[in-house]
Structure 1
Amino acid sequence: NVRIIGTMNTADRSIALVDHALRRRFAFITLSPNYEILRQYHQEIETNFLVEGLIEILEAVNQEINDPNYQIGVSFFLREYIEEEIQDIWQMEIEPYLEEFFFAQPEKVDEFRWDKIEDLMWEY
């Protein structure tokens, strides 16, 4: 037997017709953000980064997004030097994503700006 594993961006609605045709022919597995992977990664490589604050923030962001197709995953934060990089990751990758997602609701983005969440991240 041969198994082919592929990925698909379900958030891209321009592929709706192709999506339906594919779904009839293939099995799909939904992958949601797995915060335990984030915990284990930082434990195993001993980054000394306390991930609990980040996880609390990601859970709050994803709850606000309220759509499993658009949730922010943990791969952004699987970095050895996360303490040095997290501000750039947040401001240059997460915030622009939130700005696009909440285009008509900029006040929701403001709740998750780096200057609002930075202190919360280190509380845990």
Structure 2
Amino acid sequence: MTAIEWTIVILASVGTIFSFGAGLGIIRFPDVYSRLHATGKNATASVILIMSATFIYFLIEHNMFIGKILLTILFVFLTTPVAALLISRSAYRIGVPMDKSSVRDEMKPYYDNEKSSPAKNE
């Protein structure tokens, strides 16, 4: 095997491991916030690694430059973390409880001030 083929195999394998970790995080973590953290980080990394392996494979083996794969990498890199953040903030705002084993609630001071703001009540 050439160095390029090894690179493709390693990228795809590491991407698969990250994807497995994201699935495991969804199953094992106790609350929505932990699950979103696992999927936001691991799923983004796994898709980027697997798409990078795909892009390199088609570029080297078939001499095909496929820009859609690069756009997929870009859009996943930009949208998945933002979506995870917005879902977790929405869950916090509607009152989805944190797990009992959570040590600290760092968002509480920010949202307590928001609820007591007079401009919000008008």
Q: Structure 1 length as normaliser, TM-score?
A: 0.27
* Structure with the largest fraction of helix: 2
Larger radius of gyration between Structure 1 and Structure 2: 2
Q: Structure 2 length as normaliser, TM-score?
A: 0.28
